Amino acid sequence: MPKVVINERPVEVAEGTTILDAARALGVDIPTLCFLDGYEAATSCMICLVKVKDPDRLVPSCATVVEDGMHIETDTEEIHDVRRTGLELLLSDHLGDCTAPCSDTCPAGMNIPLMLRQVETGDLRGAIATIKKDIALPAVLGRVCPDLCERTCRRGILDSPVSICLIKRHVADVDLADNSPYLPDCKSSTGRRVAVVGAGAAGITAAFHLQQAGHACTLFEQDGRAGGKLLRKFTRDQLPREVIQAECALVEKLGVCFALSTRIDTAAALADLRERFDAVLVTIGAVTEPEPLGLPGAEDRLQVNAKTHETPLPGVFAAGDAMHPSDLVVRCVASGKTAAACIDQYLCGIDIVRPPRPFSVHIGRLQEEELQQLRGGASASDRILPAAGDLSAREARSEAQRCLHCECSQEGHCKLQQYAQQYGARASRYPSKRRSLERHFQHADIVFEPGKCILCGLCIQIAARAREPLGLTFIGRGFDMQVGVPLDGSLAEALKVTARQCAEACPTGALRLRY
């Protein structure tokens, strides 16, 4: 049996073992896109390249059989550079938004398309869980959000945008009226305590996320009610006070302690909190004095590190209007969410790094004929805008069905997206002429988007092995090559028994199951 060394670690494997499988035997992860266990290695993506020493050469690990005495490197900067280049070449011809424009525009980064799909299928419990992953006060925002997401909704170019905020409001209101409203799971207690000064949108949001991370949070508010700017900026008609109270009650039920009518307005009071708590978050609204709480301030805001939310005082952070004054509540929510992530890192004793945005390829503006391609899977109904702002269950579902779903169905699970983020790939590194967007709905079970195909050929192999009468094949040559149905057949004719298997094997979502 051949013996090889991988990353300075010896391993003995059976004859005929590939480098990829030998590495896996050691628990060494090598990225793959075009490879699937049990099928022939295509070696088309070249993301699994590794370096074999003496003589030095780069080889695809999925197809290279080990030889006795091999010394192999899988995780050097040189290899990372080569893989990054391979990813960037694939991305140069990749046509599809990883994340939808609506989610990109949402300051809180909510997964709007997923929420809409869940509403469309009647899964309101799943929808509220999706919303509350990013937004602590959805019933509030459903009433006062400035609809930034709807301004970039591609459905609006065709006729009118999807009523995203009203749908979010409907989901949140239904949840509040439930006998067992949704509460996210909290991690086991870390024994760490956080004081949050100010119970406005930023402070409540931060406490909501920190409590889930296992840190015990206390919100200090000088007013007798939680809400902060929400109470001053919006009338009762715009934002009923009972809605604020109901959502705060759920945050309290999560374990957050509300210390109302408690004034923290001096340097001494802040010093006391620093003694009693492991971290302090200041969300006191726009700064109106030079050194509030003894913290350095300038131009109506505190002196804060924009990336880490840290103030000059160790263990003291800031968020919301105290950091970046804004008239938009959703920006305060986003600031509180990010501050919570930074404080969590601080309490865990790791370097504070601002949470990165998910990697995404952006198509840009679509032409009319391309939008019509997307429209093939959406309802043709007109937008629903009830005068009172309350959608019925039927209306919410109907409105959700209008979504064009221009996001990638594999978002978060797409290997190309994951590796692009891991290796720091740039989609614009190798500019190329953009092809036209296509989306084919002819099959009852799957949808095909040629622009996302990386020509790995897995679907071709799967169909051939199952002896599909027609199957799939490579059509054309060189840069014009694409996967298609031979003899001008339809996708329904090509994949009669392996459609689901092909969709599940596709590494980029070019073939996907219908929603």
Confidence of residue 76 (pLDDT cuts 50, 70, 90): very high
Confidence of residue 130 (pLDDT cuts 50, 70, 90): very high
pLDDT beyond 90 at 486: yes
pLDDT beyond 80 at 62: yes
**Angle, CA of 301, 302 and 308, to the nearest 5°:** 120
* pLDDT value of position 385: 87
Instruction: Return the structure tokens found at 197.
Output: 């000064």
Confidence of residue 222 (pLDDT cuts 50, 70, 90): very high
Confidence of residue 213 (pLDDT cuts 50, 70, 90): very high
Instruction: Return the structure tokens found at 398.
Output: 């109907």
Distance CA 69, CA 53 (A): 10
Contacts of 466 (CB under 8 A, 6+ apart): 497, 498, 501
Confidence of residue 117 (pLDDT cuts 50, 70, 90): very high
Average pLDDT value for residue range 39-49: 94
* pLDDT value of position 410: 83
Contacts of 91 (CB under 8 A, 6+ apart): 361, 416, 420, 425, 426, 427, 429
What's the chain's average pLDDT? Answer: 93
pLDDT beyond 80 at 202: yes
C-alpha distance from residue 362 to each of 26, 33, 173, 356, 435 (Å) = 37, 21, 33, 17, 13
Confidence of residue 127 (pLDDT cuts 50, 70, 90): very high
* pLDDT value of position 388: 76
Distance CA 380, CA 391 (A): 18
* pLDDT value of position 319: 96
Residue with the larger pLDDT of the pair 358 and 475 = 475
Classify residue 356 by burial, with Cβ atoms within 10 Å: 0-12, 13-18, 19+: exposed
Classify residue 15 by burial, with Cβ atoms within 10 Å: 0-12, 13-18, 19+: exposed
Is the previous residue joined to 55 through a cis bond, with omega within 30 degrees of 0? yes
Give the chain's length.
515
* pLDDT value of position 322: 86
* pLDDT value of position 132: 98
* pLDDT value of position 341: 97
Rg, C-alpha atoms of the chain = 27
C-alpha distance from residue 346 to each of 121, 194, 211, 349, 473 (Å) = 40, 11, 15, 5, 53
Contacts of 498 (CB under 8 A, 6+ apart): 462, 463, 466, 468
CB atoms under 10 Å from CB of 168, counted, come to 28
Average pLDDT value for residue range 285-301: 80
Distance CA 491, CA 445 (A): 10
Average pLDDT value for residue range 236-245: 96
Instruction: Return the structure tokens found at 318.
Output: 């800031």
Long-range contacts of 60-65 (CB under 8 A, 24+ apart): 61/18, 61/19, 61/20, 61/23, 61/30, 62/18, 62/20, 62/32, 62/34, 62/35, 63/18, 64/18, 64/19, 65/16, 65/17, 65/18, 65/19
Distance CA 97, CA 107 (A): 18
Residue with the larger pLDDT of the pair 282 and 479 = 282
Average pLDDT value for residue range 220-230: 95
Distance CA 490, CA 470 (A): 9
Confidence of residue 6 (pLDDT cuts 50, 70, 90): very high
* pLDDT value of position 375: 86
- For 299-340, the pLDDT digits (tens) are 788 899 999 999 999 999 999 998 888 889 999 999 999 999
* pLDDT value of position 354: 83
- Single-letter code of the amino acid located at 241: R
CB atoms under 10 Å from CB of 379, counted, come to 16
Contact between 114 and 453 (Cβ < 8 Å): no
* pLDDT value of position 433: 86
Determine which of 47-51, 189-193, 386-390 has the lowest per-residue pLDDT on average.
386-390
C-alpha distance from residue 375 to each of 280, 365, 378, 395, 434 (Å) = 49, 15, 5, 19, 20
Strand partners, 6: 9, 72
Residue with the larger pLDDT of the pair 365 and 499 = 499
Ramachandran region of residue 145, left (φ > 0), alpha (ψ -120 to 50) or beta? beta
Distance CA 230, CA 244 (A): 8
Confidence of residue 387 (pLDDT cuts 50, 70, 90): confident
Structural domains of the chain sorted by starting position, each given as residue range(s) with its CATH number in brackets: 3-75 (3.10.20.740), 101-181+362-400 (1.10.1060.10), 193-347 (3.50.50.60), 430-513 (3.30.70.20)
pLDDT beyond 90 at 220: yes
Classify residue 392 by burial, with Cβ atoms within 10 Å: 0-12, 13-18, 19+: exposed
- Helix (H) or strand (E) run with residue 409 in it: none
Distance CA 71, CA 22 (A): 12
**Angle, CA of 178, 181 and 186, to the nearest 5°:** 170
Highest-scoring range by mean pLDDT, 337-346, 359-368, 433-442 = 337-346
